[in-house]
Amino acid sequence: MKLVIFIIDGLGDRPNERGLTPLKEAKTPTMDKIAEEGICGLMNAIDIGVRPGSDTSHLAILGYNPYEVYTGRGPLEAFGLGMDLKEGDVAFRCNFATVDKDFKVLDRRAGRISEEEAKELEKEIDGLEIDGVKIFFKSKGYRGALVLKGDVSDKVTDGDPHKEGEKPIVKALSKEGEKTAEVLNKLLKIVYERLDKHPINIEREKRGLPKANIILPRGGGRVPKVEKFYNKYGLKGCCISSTALIEGIGKMLGLDTYEVDEKKMNIEERAKIIIDKIKKYDFTLVNVKLADEASHDGKYEEKKKIIEETDKLLSLIFKEIKKDEVYFVLTADHSSPIEVRDHSADPVPIVIWGKSVRKDDVKEFNEFSCAKGSLHWIRGEHIMRILLDLINKNEKFGA
Protein backbone atom coordinates (compact mmCIF):
# COMPACT_ATOMS: atom_id res chain seq x y z
CA MET A 1 0.00 0.00 0.00
CA LYS A 2 1.17 3.50 -0.92
CA LEU A 3 0.61 6.67 1.06
CA VAL A 4 -0.09 10.14 -0.36
CA ILE A 5 -0.58 13.42 1.49
CA PHE A 6 -1.87 16.11 -0.86
CA ILE A 7 -1.69 19.58 0.64
CA ILE A 8 -3.49 22.55 -0.87
CA ASP A 9 -1.51 25.38 0.68
CA GLY A 10 -3.62 27.96 2.52
CA LEU A 11 -6.87 26.32 1.39
CA GLY A 12 -9.05 27.03 4.43
CA ASP A 13 -10.89 30.30 4.71
CA ARG A 14 -13.41 32.24 6.79
CA PRO A 15 -16.97 32.81 5.52
CA ASN A 16 -17.63 36.04 3.66
CA GLU A 17 -20.78 38.15 4.03
CA ARG A 18 -22.68 35.50 2.07
CA GLY A 19 -21.47 32.80 4.47
CA LEU A 20 -19.30 31.28 1.77
CA THR A 21 -15.62 30.46 1.38
CA PRO A 22 -13.74 29.98 -1.89
CA LEU A 23 -13.68 26.22 -1.23
CA LYS A 24 -17.36 26.03 -0.30
CA GLU A 25 -18.34 27.96 -3.42
CA ALA A 26 -15.94 26.32 -5.88
CA LYS A 27 -17.17 23.43 -8.02
CA THR A 28 -15.07 20.53 -6.80
CA PRO A 29 -16.65 17.26 -7.92
CA THR A 30 -13.47 15.24 -7.38
CA MET A 31 -12.77 16.55 -3.90
CA ASP A 32 -16.41 15.93 -2.99
CA LYS A 33 -16.21 12.37 -4.25
CA ILE A 34 -13.04 11.77 -2.22
CA ALA A 35 -14.86 13.14 0.83
CA GLU A 36 -17.89 10.98 0.14
CA GLU A 37 -15.78 7.83 -0.09
CA GLY A 38 -13.44 8.67 2.78
CA ILE A 39 -13.47 9.64 6.43
CA CYS A 40 -13.52 13.39 7.07
CA GLY A 41 -12.70 15.83 9.80
CA LEU A 42 -11.01 19.06 10.70
CA MET A 43 -7.31 19.43 11.34
CA ASN A 44 -4.96 21.93 12.93
CA ALA A 45 -1.41 21.21 11.84
CA ILE A 46 0.04 22.26 15.19
CA ASP A 47 -2.84 22.90 17.60
CA ILE A 48 -6.06 24.80 18.10
CA GLY A 49 -5.41 28.52 17.89
CA VAL A 50 -1.83 28.11 16.71
CA ARG A 51 -1.20 30.02 13.50
CA PRO A 52 1.43 28.09 11.60
CA GLY A 53 3.83 28.86 8.81
CA SER A 54 3.88 26.53 5.84
CA ASP A 55 7.19 25.21 7.15
CA THR A 56 6.08 24.40 10.70
CA SER A 57 2.76 22.98 9.51
CA HIS A 58 4.38 20.67 6.96
CA LEU A 59 6.84 19.44 9.59
CA ALA A 60 3.94 18.70 11.96
CA ILE A 61 1.94 16.93 9.24
CA LEU A 62 4.97 14.76 8.49
CA GLY A 63 5.08 13.80 12.16
CA TYR A 64 7.95 16.02 13.28
CA ASN A 65 7.53 18.28 16.30
CA PRO A 66 8.14 21.78 14.91
CA TYR A 67 8.96 23.04 18.41
CA GLU A 68 11.97 20.71 18.29
CA VAL A 69 13.07 20.66 14.66
CA TYR A 70 12.11 24.09 13.38
CA THR A 71 14.93 26.54 14.07
CA GLY A 72 14.19 29.23 11.52
CA ARG A 73 14.20 29.67 7.78
CA GLY A 74 17.99 29.69 7.39
CA PRO A 75 18.54 25.93 7.75
CA LEU A 76 15.51 25.15 5.50
CA GLU A 77 16.81 27.47 2.79
CA ALA A 78 20.25 25.88 2.97
CA PHE A 79 18.77 22.38 2.86
CA GLY A 80 16.65 23.47 -0.10
CA LEU A 81 19.78 24.55 -1.96
CA GLY A 82 21.27 21.12 -1.36
CA MET A 83 24.04 22.34 0.95
CA ASP A 84 25.86 19.91 3.20
CA LEU A 85 24.59 20.52 6.72
CA LYS A 86 25.46 18.90 10.03
CA GLU A 87 23.76 19.28 13.40
CA GLY A 88 25.14 22.40 15.09
CA ASP A 89 25.97 24.30 11.90
CA VAL A 90 24.31 27.71 11.72
CA ALA A 91 22.57 28.74 8.50
CA PHE A 92 21.08 32.01 7.20
CA ARG A 93 18.99 33.07 4.24
CA CYS A 94 20.61 35.89 2.31
CA ASN A 95 19.87 38.49 -0.36
CA PHE A 96 22.47 40.04 -2.56
CA ALA A 97 22.11 43.77 -1.86
CA THR A 98 23.71 47.11 -2.57
CA VAL A 99 25.57 49.27 -0.01
CA ASP A 100 27.11 52.66 -0.58
CA LYS A 101 30.62 53.78 0.43
CA ASP A 102 29.40 54.39 4.01
CA PHE A 103 28.12 50.79 4.11
CA LYS A 104 24.50 51.94 4.12
CA VAL A 105 21.99 49.77 2.27
CA LEU A 106 20.81 51.38 -0.97
CA ASP A 107 18.88 48.45 -2.46
CA ARG A 108 17.97 45.35 -0.39
CA ARG A 109 17.86 43.19 -3.52
CA ALA A 110 20.54 44.78 -5.71
CA GLY A 111 17.93 45.06 -8.46
CA ARG A 112 17.52 41.28 -8.45
CA ILE A 113 20.71 40.21 -10.17
CA SER A 114 20.71 37.31 -12.58
CA GLU A 115 21.35 33.67 -11.82
CA GLU A 116 24.62 33.79 -13.81
CA GLU A 117 25.93 36.92 -12.11
CA ALA A 118 25.11 35.45 -8.71
CA LYS A 119 26.98 32.23 -9.53
CA GLU A 120 30.14 34.26 -10.25
CA LEU A 121 29.87 36.35 -7.09
CA GLU A 122 29.15 33.22 -5.00
CA LYS A 123 32.73 32.04 -5.64
CA GLU A 124 34.10 35.06 -3.77
CA ILE A 125 32.30 34.01 -0.59
CA ASP A 126 31.99 30.23 -0.64
CA GLY A 127 34.91 28.49 1.11
CA LEU A 128 36.18 31.44 3.17
CA GLU A 129 37.46 30.83 6.69
CA ILE A 130 37.38 33.47 9.43
CA ASP A 131 38.79 32.87 12.95
CA GLY A 132 38.50 29.11 12.45
CA VAL A 133 34.89 29.28 11.24
CA LYS A 134 34.35 27.76 7.81
CA ILE A 135 31.96 29.63 5.57
CA PHE A 136 29.84 28.24 2.76
CA PHE A 137 27.59 30.19 0.46
CA LYS A 138 25.28 29.15 -2.33
CA SER A 139 23.18 31.49 -4.45
CA LYS A 140 19.88 31.08 -6.24
CA GLY A 141 19.39 34.25 -8.25
CA TYR A 142 19.51 37.29 -5.97
CA ARG A 143 18.90 34.99 -2.98
CA GLY A 144 21.08 32.44 -1.28
CA ALA A 145 22.05 30.63 1.87
CA LEU A 146 25.05 31.09 4.13
CA VAL A 147 26.32 28.29 6.35
CA LEU A 148 28.81 28.65 9.21
CA LYS A 149 30.62 25.59 10.52
CA GLY A 150 32.75 25.45 13.64
CA ASP A 151 32.36 27.03 17.05
CA VAL A 152 29.24 28.98 16.10
CA SER A 153 25.92 29.99 17.60
CA ASP A 154 22.55 31.21 16.31
CA LYS A 155 22.22 33.71 19.13
CA VAL A 156 22.74 36.64 16.77
CA THR A 157 20.53 39.19 15.05
CA ASP A 158 19.94 39.37 11.33
CA GLY A 159 22.65 41.18 9.41
CA ASP A 160 19.84 42.51 7.22
CA PRO A 161 18.69 45.88 8.62
CA HIS A 162 15.35 45.25 6.83
CA LYS A 163 15.29 48.83 5.55
CA GLU A 164 17.31 50.93 3.22
CA GLY A 165 19.58 53.67 4.54
CA GLU A 166 20.86 51.58 7.45
CA LYS A 167 24.05 49.56 7.86
CA PRO A 168 24.13 45.77 7.89
CA ILE A 169 25.50 44.87 11.30
CA VAL A 170 25.14 41.62 13.19
CA LYS A 171 24.72 41.84 16.98
CA ALA A 172 25.01 39.10 19.56
CA LEU A 173 21.74 38.24 21.31
CA SER A 174 23.66 36.75 24.24
CA LYS A 175 27.24 36.06 25.31
CA GLU A 176 27.07 32.79 23.37
CA GLY A 177 26.56 34.67 20.11
CA GLU A 178 29.44 37.13 20.47
CA LYS A 179 32.03 35.21 18.47
CA THR A 180 29.58 34.41 15.68
CA ALA A 181 28.50 38.08 15.43
CA GLU A 182 32.16 39.08 15.18
CA VAL A 183 32.83 36.50 12.44
CA LEU A 184 29.76 37.63 10.49
CA ASN A 185 30.71 41.30 10.71
CA LYS A 186 34.20 40.47 9.49
CA LEU A 187 32.62 38.43 6.71
CA LEU A 188 30.40 41.33 5.60
CA LYS A 189 33.50 43.58 5.37
CA ILE A 190 35.38 40.98 3.31
CA VAL A 191 32.37 40.40 1.05
CA TYR A 192 32.10 44.13 0.39
CA GLU A 193 35.82 44.43 -0.38
CA ARG A 194 35.73 41.48 -2.78
CA LEU A 195 32.43 42.19 -4.52
CA ASP A 196 32.50 45.96 -4.83
CA LYS A 197 35.46 45.79 -7.24
CA HIS A 198 34.40 42.55 -8.92
CA PRO A 199 34.22 42.71 -12.75
CA ILE A 200 30.54 41.77 -12.62
CA ASN A 201 29.80 44.83 -10.51
CA ILE A 202 32.06 47.12 -12.55
CA GLU A 203 30.06 45.97 -15.55
CA ARG A 204 26.72 46.51 -13.71
CA GLU A 205 27.83 50.00 -12.69
CA LYS A 206 28.58 50.82 -16.34
CA ARG A 207 25.06 49.70 -17.28
CA GLY A 208 23.59 51.92 -14.54
CA LEU A 209 22.54 48.94 -12.41
CA PRO A 210 22.98 48.70 -8.64
CA LYS A 211 26.07 46.76 -7.54
CA ALA A 212 25.54 43.45 -5.78
CA ASN A 213 28.30 44.26 -3.32
CA ILE A 214 27.00 42.80 -0.07
CA ILE A 215 24.92 39.92 1.25
CA LEU A 216 22.31 40.43 3.96
CA PRO A 217 21.98 37.37 6.21
CA ARG A 218 18.71 36.81 8.03
CA GLY A 219 16.60 34.01 9.61
CA GLY A 220 19.65 32.39 11.19
CA GLY A 221 19.14 29.06 12.89
CA ARG A 222 21.09 26.17 14.27
CA VAL A 223 20.78 23.02 12.19
CA PRO A 224 18.65 20.69 14.35
CA LYS A 225 18.97 16.98 14.93
CA VAL A 226 16.37 15.42 12.66
CA GLU A 227 15.70 11.74 12.06
CA LYS A 228 15.41 11.10 8.33
CA PHE A 229 11.94 10.16 7.10
CA TYR A 230 13.08 6.74 5.94
CA ASN A 231 14.64 5.91 9.29
CA LYS A 232 11.59 7.12 11.16
CA TYR A 233 8.96 5.33 9.10
CA GLY A 234 10.74 2.77 6.91
CA LEU A 235 9.09 4.33 3.85
CA LYS A 236 10.81 5.49 0.67
CA GLY A 237 9.40 8.97 0.30
CA CYS A 238 9.35 11.94 -2.02
CA CYS A 239 8.09 15.49 -1.98
CA ILE A 240 6.61 17.34 -4.95
CA SER A 241 6.29 21.12 -4.68
CA SER A 242 6.85 24.39 -6.48
CA THR A 243 8.48 26.31 -3.63
CA ALA A 244 11.99 26.32 -2.22
CA LEU A 245 10.59 26.26 1.31
CA ILE A 246 8.76 22.95 0.94
CA GLU A 247 11.66 21.56 -1.05
CA GLY A 248 13.95 22.55 1.83
CA ILE A 249 11.76 20.63 4.28
CA GLY A 250 11.78 17.62 1.99
CA LYS A 251 15.56 17.70 1.70
CA MET A 252 15.99 18.17 5.46
CA LEU A 253 13.99 14.99 6.02
CA GLY A 254 15.85 13.10 3.31
CA LEU A 255 12.91 12.90 0.90
CA ASP A 256 13.60 12.91 -2.82
CA THR A 257 12.34 16.27 -4.04
CA TYR A 258 10.72 17.16 -7.34
CA GLU A 259 9.71 20.58 -8.59
CA VAL A 260 6.42 21.08 -10.39
CA ASP A 261 6.08 24.61 -11.71
CA GLU A 262 2.40 25.37 -11.19
CA LYS A 263 2.55 28.52 -13.28
CA LYS A 264 4.36 27.13 -16.30
CA MET A 265 3.10 23.54 -16.48
CA ASN A 266 -0.40 22.56 -17.47
CA ILE A 267 -2.66 20.28 -15.46
CA GLU A 268 -1.82 17.21 -17.53
CA GLU A 269 1.93 17.70 -17.13
CA ARG A 270 1.59 18.19 -13.41
CA ALA A 271 -0.68 15.17 -13.01
CA LYS A 272 1.74 13.00 -14.96
CA ILE A 273 4.63 13.80 -12.62
CA ILE A 274 2.54 13.25 -9.50
CA ILE A 275 1.13 9.92 -10.74
CA ASP A 276 4.60 8.79 -11.71
CA LYS A 277 5.99 9.51 -8.23
CA ILE A 278 3.03 7.90 -6.45
CA LYS A 279 3.74 4.73 -8.41
CA LYS A 280 7.44 4.90 -7.69
CA TYR A 281 7.47 5.73 -3.99
CA ASP A 282 5.94 4.33 -0.78
CA PHE A 283 5.11 7.85 0.33
CA THR A 284 4.44 11.01 -1.68
CA LEU A 285 3.88 14.48 -0.29
CA VAL A 286 2.37 16.93 -2.77
CA ASN A 287 2.15 20.64 -2.03
CA VAL A 288 0.29 22.96 -4.39
CA LYS A 289 0.92 26.59 -3.58
CA LEU A 290 -1.22 28.90 -5.71
CA ALA A 291 -4.32 29.03 -3.47
CA ASP A 292 -2.14 30.43 -0.70
CA GLU A 293 -0.65 33.04 -3.04
CA ALA A 294 -4.13 34.18 -4.06
CA SER A 295 -5.04 34.39 -0.37
CA HIS A 296 -2.03 36.55 0.42
CA ASP A 297 -3.14 38.83 -2.40
CA GLY A 298 -6.71 38.92 -1.03
CA LYS A 299 -8.14 37.56 -4.31
CA TYR A 300 -11.33 35.59 -3.56
CA GLU A 301 -12.30 34.75 -7.14
CA GLU A 302 -8.74 33.83 -8.04
CA LYS A 303 -8.53 31.49 -5.05
CA LYS A 304 -11.82 29.87 -6.06
CA LYS A 305 -10.56 29.40 -9.62
CA ILE A 306 -7.31 27.83 -8.42
CA ILE A 307 -9.26 25.44 -6.21
CA GLU A 308 -11.34 24.40 -9.23
CA GLU A 309 -8.16 23.82 -11.24
CA THR A 310 -6.72 21.79 -8.39
CA ASP A 311 -9.90 19.70 -8.50
CA LYS A 312 -9.18 18.97 -12.15
CA LEU A 313 -5.61 18.00 -11.24
CA LEU A 314 -7.02 15.63 -8.62
CA SER A 315 -9.47 14.15 -11.14
CA LEU A 316 -6.56 13.21 -13.40
CA ILE A 317 -4.61 11.74 -10.49
CA PHE A 318 -7.62 9.74 -9.27
CA LYS A 319 -8.08 8.15 -12.67
CA GLU A 320 -4.80 6.36 -11.98
CA ILE A 321 -5.28 5.52 -8.30
CA LYS A 322 -6.91 2.36 -6.98
CA LYS A 323 -8.53 2.15 -3.58
CA ASP A 324 -6.75 -1.05 -2.67
CA GLU A 325 -3.34 0.38 -3.54
CA VAL A 326 -3.26 3.86 -2.02
CA TYR A 327 -4.29 5.67 1.15
CA PHE A 328 -4.76 9.28 0.12
CA VAL A 329 -5.00 12.26 2.46
CA LEU A 330 -6.42 15.49 1.05
CA THR A 331 -6.00 18.51 3.30
CA ALA A 332 -4.28 21.88 3.74
CA ASP A 333 -1.37 23.01 5.84
CA HIS A 334 -3.30 25.97 7.27
CA SER A 335 -6.09 28.40 6.48
CA SER A 336 -5.24 31.65 4.69
CA PRO A 337 -8.44 33.68 4.89
CA ILE A 338 -8.97 36.27 2.19
CA GLU A 339 -9.89 38.81 4.87
CA VAL A 340 -6.56 38.22 6.67
CA ARG A 341 -4.30 38.01 3.60
CA ASP A 342 -2.10 35.76 5.68
CA HIS A 343 -2.19 32.45 7.52
CA SER A 344 -4.71 31.94 10.31
CA ALA A 345 -5.27 29.31 12.98
CA ASP A 346 -8.68 28.25 11.62
CA PRO A 347 -8.68 24.47 11.22
CA VAL A 348 -8.68 22.98 7.72
CA PRO A 349 -10.80 20.20 6.23
CA ILE A 350 -9.20 16.78 5.94
CA VAL A 351 -10.25 13.53 4.33
CA ILE A 352 -8.51 10.16 4.48
CA TRP A 353 -9.43 7.97 1.52
CA GLY A 354 -8.62 4.31 0.93
CA LYS A 355 -9.79 0.75 1.25
CA SER A 356 -10.28 0.26 4.98
CA VAL A 357 -11.17 3.69 6.34
CA ARG A 358 -14.47 4.00 8.18
CA LYS A 359 -16.41 6.01 5.62
CA ASP A 360 -18.75 8.58 7.15
CA ASP A 361 -21.75 10.56 5.84
CA VAL A 362 -19.84 13.63 4.66
CA LYS A 363 -20.43 14.22 0.95
CA GLU A 364 -18.63 17.52 0.33
CA PHE A 365 -15.10 18.66 0.94
CA ASN A 366 -15.14 22.02 2.68
CA GLU A 367 -14.65 23.78 6.01
CA PHE A 368 -18.28 23.23 7.07
CA SER A 369 -19.16 19.73 5.87
CA CYS A 370 -15.94 18.12 7.08
CA ALA A 371 -16.62 19.40 10.60
CA LYS A 372 -19.33 16.71 10.77
CA GLY A 373 -17.02 13.85 9.81
CA SER A 374 -16.09 10.87 11.94
CA LEU A 375 -12.46 11.89 12.26
CA HIS A 376 -13.79 14.79 14.32
CA TRP A 377 -10.76 16.98 14.93
CA ILE A 378 -7.13 15.93 14.76
CA ARG A 379 -3.70 17.50 14.85
CA GLY A 380 -1.12 17.26 12.10
CA GLU A 381 1.00 14.90 14.19
CA HIS A 382 -1.78 12.31 14.09
CA ILE A 383 -1.84 11.95 10.30
CA MET A 384 1.27 9.82 9.80
CA ARG A 385 0.34 7.67 12.81
CA ILE A 386 -3.12 6.99 11.38
CA LEU A 387 -1.64 6.20 7.96
CA LEU A 388 1.01 3.88 9.38
CA ASP A 389 -1.73 2.11 11.29
CA LEU A 390 -3.83 1.69 8.15
CA ILE A 391 -0.91 0.00 6.39
CA ASN A 392 -0.15 -2.03 9.52
CA LYS A 393 3.29 -0.53 10.08
CA ASN A 394 2.45 0.95 13.46
CA GLU A 395 4.40 -0.38 16.43
CA LYS A 396 2.32 -1.90 19.22
CA PHE A 397 2.72 -0.50 22.72
CA GLY A 398 2.14 -3.38 25.11
CA ALA A 399 0.94 -6.92 24.48
> What residue ranges bind a copy of itself (CB under 8 A)?
14-15, 19, 42, 46, 48-57, 66, 70, 73, 219, 245, 337, 339-340, 342-346, 356-360, 367-368, 371-372, 374, 376-378, 382, 384-386, 388-389, 392, 394-399
Rounded to an integer, what is the distance from CA 245 to the centroid of its chain?
3
How near is the Cβ of 105 to a copy of itself at its closest, in Å?
22
**Rounded to 5 degrees, what angle do the CA atoms 265, 266, 268 make?**
120
Q: What is the distance between the alpha carbons of residues 275 and 286, in angstroms, rounded to a whole number?
A: 11
| Residue (152 or 375) nearer to a copy of itself, CB | 375
How near is the Cβ of 45 to a copy of itself at its closest, in Å?
10
| Residue (179 or 334) nearer to a copy of itself, CB | 334
How many angstroms separate the Cα of 207 from the Cα of each of 126, 199, 202, 212? 27, 12, 9, 13
Give CA torsion, residues 160, 161, 167, 170, to 10 deg: -60
Q: What is the distance between the alpha carbons of residues 190 and 214, in angstroms, rounded to a whole number?
A: 9
C-beta of residue 182 within 8 angstroms of C-beta of residue 131: yes
Q: What is the CB neighbour count within 10 angstroms for residue 120? A: 17
How near is the Cβ of 153 to a copy of itself at its closest, in Å?
21
Q: What is the distance between the alpha carbons of residues 129 and 20, in angstroms, rounded to a whole number?
A: 57
How near is the Cβ of 262 to a copy of itself at its closest, in Å?
19
How near is the Cβ of 132 to a copy of itself at its closest, in Å?
31
| Residue (209 or 386) nearer to a copy of itself, CB | 386
| Residue (162 or 197) nearer to a copy of itself, CB | 162
Q: Report phi then psi at 127, rounded to 5.
A: 100, 0
How near is the Cβ of 110 to a copy of itself at its closest, in Å?
22
| Residue (207 or 399) nearer to a copy of itself, CB | 399
How near is the Cβ of 320 to a copy of itself at its closest, in Å?
21
| Residue (205 or 389) nearer to a copy of itself, CB | 389
Secondary element (H or E) of residue 78: helix 73-80
Exposure of 392 by Cβ count < 10 A (0-12 exposed, 13-18 middle, 19+ buried)?
A: exposed
How near is the Cβ of 233 to a copy of itself at its closest, in Å?
13
* Beta-strand runs (E) in 264-317: 283-288
| Residue (69 or 291) nearer to a copy of itself, CB | 69
| Residue (57 or 98) nearer to a copy of itself, CB | 57
How near is the Cβ of 398 to a copy of itself at its closest, in Å?
2
| Residue (293 or 309) nearer to a copy of itself, CB | 293
**Rounded to 5 degrees, what angle do the CA atoms 128, 131, 136 make?**
30
Exposure of 268 by Cβ count < 10 A (0-12 exposed, 13-18 middle, 19+ buried)?
A: exposed
Using alpha carbons only, how large is the chain's radius of gyration in Å?
23
